[in-house]
Copies of this chain bind each other. A is one copy, B any other.
């Protein structure tokens, strides 16, 4: 089966990473997975929230948001509604957990990094693009912290890299990196977060239509491991440039 944008089932969409997009943030990346574009910034602060003070460990957290017209129909702003929706909360928490999984908080020391992932344009896979770009911003902010002397010369706060991709079953066929038109038709939708070494950080599979069996689950995991390996290579290339 050829997909509407000409990809095969195992192809990622074209991925670009504009590292250092922001002139203000300590680390940043404007990442695109096809038409999905997410601006990721990392804000590094020396010091930790009060509840962590004196414990010798750092903190990494994330916030995700969509611009009101990042989508095909305009959404109301959560700031105007006065509250954050469940989906936003869920994705912010997912990004934070994914990044913390590859950070040694002792090695980070009493420093705080807040990652903001703002979706400028949405065409499916915004949370996986966000995680993948956030890692690049995070890595650069850690280098900034090292340059400023907030992180010790021999400390290695990054214990691995992390990337994420969506997979799903559309009309019975497992596909990698769903675009929005595929996502809405998917019977099963899964987001998989994987480290550079190929270990799972998160596996979140949901039957949107029919429940799925063990074989389908395995096929999706295979696809995801292929995709995240490719994304890891792009992260490495971006950080080396």
Interface residues of A (CB under 8 A from B): 22-25, 28, 35, 39, 41, 43, 45, 63, 65, 67-72, 74, 77-90, 92-93, 97, 101, 114, 116, 118, 120-121, 160, 190, 195, 197-207, 210-214, 217, 221
Choice from B85, B97, B201, B202 contacting A89 with Cβ under 8 Å = B85
B67 with A116: CB separation less than 8 A:
yes
Give the interface centre of A45, A77, A80, A207 by most chain B CB atoms within 10 Å: A207
* Inter-chain contacts of A212 with B (CB < 8 A): 199-200
Give the interface centre of A23, A85, A203 by most chain B CB atoms within 10 Å: A203
Choice from B63, B71, B121, B200 contacting A80 with Cβ under 8 Å = B63
* Inter-chain contacts of A201 with B (CB < 8 A): 206-207, 211
B121 with A22: CB separation less than 8 A:
yes
Chain B min CB distance to A220 (Å)? 10
Distance between Cα atoms of A203 and B206 in the complex (Å): 7
* Inter-chain contacts of A97 with B (CB < 8 A): 206
Distance between Cα atoms of A82 and B77 in the complex (Å): 11
B23 with A35: CB separation less than 8 A:
yes
User: Known: A86-B93, A92-B86, A207-B101. Is A114-B77 also a contact (CB below 8 A)?
Assistant: no
B202 with A207: CB separation less than 8 A:
yes
B101 with A68: CB separation less than 8 A:
no
User: Which chain B residue has the least Cβ–Cβ distance from A213?
Assistant: B199
User: Which chain B residue has the least Cβ–Cβ distance from A212?
Assistant: B200
User: Known: A203-B217, A211-B201, A213-B200. Is A77-B89 also a contact (CB below 8 A)?
Assistant: no
User: Which chain B residue has the least Cβ–Cβ distance from A84?
Assistant: B79
Chain B min CB distance to A147 (Å)? 17
User: Known: A79-B84, A200-B213. Is A39-B205 also a contact (CB below 8 A)?
Assistant: no
User: Which chain B residue has the least Cβ–Cβ distance from A160?
Assistant: B211
Choice from B85, B200, B210, B214 contacting A207 with Cβ under 8 Å = B200
* Inter-chain contacts of A160 with B (CB < 8 A): 211
